[in-house]
Structure 1
Amino acid sequence: MRSTHSGYTRLTKFHKFSAAGVAVAGAATLGFGLASHAVAADTASVKPVAWSAQSFGETQQEELTKAADGAAAQAKTDAQARVKAEADAAAKAKADRERAAKEAASRAEARKALKAAPAKPAEKPAAKPAAAKPAAPAPKAYADNLDGWIRQSLDIMKAKGIPGSYEGIKRNVMRESTGNPHAINDWDVNAVNGVPSKGLLQIIDPTFKAYHVDGTSWNIWDPVANIVASCNYAADKYGSMDNVNSAY
């Protein structure tokens, strides 16, 4: 069926199919005629190619087999890769577990050793530095004369608990020796008996030795030793050198 629009003729869908069919049929007829002519002309020189459905099927089967073999090989490779990956993962997990177990055992051992270790004694606070002791007073200086000898003797007597005064000592020294530490009596009864009186307070050797005071010289001619021993004797016999007003 044709339809006319704007001055030209248009073929419908049915007409297109019909025309296409005629064209194909004509072309097939024409081609067959040409082919028959060509075959007839070259029959003597061209040999026919053998073809059958069986040979086509075998070729197709080979291709399918090759494809199947390739797929199977790939599947095997993939399976091996998965097995290896799983084995690797299992080995790593095992190594992690073993490492964790070792670390736990090490920590447990450390805690056990810490408990077994003896307790550390508490540190004592640092001792405070000892206060510096006051320096010992310098020895008292005494003049090397009668005044100095009497004053030094009085300090020793005070420390030893021997009574006596400066005036009582000086008074008896001046009467006995006039202050001469080397004075000696070679005429009285003591001298006659071989034990003369010596020194500032004219004491004999036996009395000096008997009433000697520790810390003083054992030399009867030493002024301080002579005074202290004599005062010690006077304190024993008269209560104090202050009570002596004559030979004693």
Structure 2
Amino acid sequence: MDLEQNTVTTLIHRTGGVRCAIVMTQSSSSVSASVGGTVTMSCQASRTVHSSYLSWNQQKPGQPPKLLIYKAPKLQSGVPSWVSSSGSGTEFTLTISGVQPGDAATYYCVWDSAFSSQEFEPSPLLCTSPSVLLPSSGDPVAPSVLLFPPSKEELTTGTATIVCVANKFYPSDITVTWKVDGTTQQSGIENSKTPQSPEDNTYSLSSTLSLTSAQYNSHSVYTCEVVQGSASPIVQSFNRGDC
């Protein structure tokens, strides 16, 4: 996964004549890692600060900021252990191990002398330099594919619905091909793809092949082939006689 990191102008707030003189900046313009790899983001303070006032926060589009690290290097409750931070004085880092497409977000390095709790509440003394991280080309995530034959109860109604499910794949380009006794089917097929998951940025797809029970009983082998990009097909099949 390639991650693009853009430094945004440091925010300096005043209140009651008190000026925040600490400026937090990112030391690098870009970072990159493959899915499953490690990303480290650096944050530099304009002068020595105590890590007890430093936090790291993550924000995804349309969502409020999520606190990852508080009183560095303490992990906020619910944040996985593969997220960590280190540093002291003027140099601090956030490390994410086992990078996934869902890690794309805006990350905030925050120094706040009023920061004393586990809740992220921006105060007038907040100095922060946010970094926007977006995948320019996330590594593909192969789906798991399951094939379900029609139930015996359904067959008694005169219909037969076969379902092929491709779970958690990335990116979204995927092709499903149905074969009956080796012959590619062109009709009776309906595909339904879920929206991109906000947790891990993956997609899922359900494909159905609808037949009459007479059609179903007149053939033996039913196959679902799933192709993602240029990868080799993932094939699932069953023999009607085994069901």
Fold conserved between structures, TM > 0.5: no
TM-score (norm 2): 0.17
More contact order relative to length (CA 8 Å, sep ≥ 6): 2
Write 1 or 2 for the structure with the bigger share of strand: 2
Write 1 or 2 for the structure with the bigger share of helix: 1
